[in-house]
Amino acid sequence: MNHPITALVIMGVAGCGKTSVCDALCELSSATAIEGDTFHPAANIEKMSAGIPLNDEDRAGWLDSLCVELRRVDATGQRPVLTCSALKHSYREVLRSALPGLGFVFLELTPEVAADRVSHRPGHFMPSTLIDSQFATLESPVGEPLTLALDASTHSVDQLAKQAHIWWLANGLKQAV
């Protein structure tokens, strides 16, 4: 273990359950949720809403904003848990630069399950037509330090949150008093 894990990123393609798992995990661990989608600039949301995938340039400012927010929440003594697709290794490295001991929980699932979930998700700007581009961009984090991969296709949100919580406890999370 490089550093104790002091903060987490719940990552994966659209539809993997990042927000639901984050919320359940924060409940278990008394952590503070950071919804990464709320930090997208309007231009990114417009692009995705129109079915146009984001590129590295689109994501750069967004990732920088997420780093600022991770540091801000951490500086208040809270334990941040960020939802962020973090599809590429380079994106994860940007996030890792924000805080030492940043861990990643990768919610893996198949393109078919992701497309089905996104097509039934009301009120979100990410259309199911972008699922293929997300999988094309995804560089698996399996094998990277401080990373836990979980099967989001077959496990419930509660099971995923409990597995992440146990892993975090074993790798640095201190229980709230």
Residue-range domain boundaries for the chain: 7-170
Q: What pLDDT does 177 receive?
A: 43
* Mean per-residue pLDDT, 12-28: 94
Mean pLDDT, rounded, of the chain: 90
Reported as a single tens digit per residue, the pLDDT across 33-70 is 999 999 999 998 888 878 788 889 999 999 999 999 99
The pLDDT of residue 172 is above 90: no
pLDDT of residue 50: 82
pLDDT at 131: 82
- Pick from 73, 77, 90: nearest CA to 35: 73
pTM over 0.95: no
Name the architecture of domain 7-170: 3-Layer(aba) Sandwich (3.40)
For residue 145, report the phi and psi dihedrals to the nearest 5 degrees: -65, 150
pLDDT band at 3; cut points 50, 70, 90 = confident
Which of 4-13, 16-25, 60-69, 123-132 shows the lowest per-residue confidence on average (mean pLDDT)? 123-132
- What whole-number distance in Å separates Cα of residue 162 and Cα of residue 108? 16
- What pLDDT sits at residue 125? 60
Q: How far is CA 147 from CA 44, 51, 83, 109, 129, in A?
A: 27, 30, 14, 16, 28
Q: What is the mean pLDDT of residues 131-137?
A: 88
pLDDT at 10 over 90: yes
Contact 42, 50 (CB under 8 A): no
Looking at residue 1, its pLDDT comes to: 44
Q: Can you tell me the mean pLDDT for 146-174? A: 93
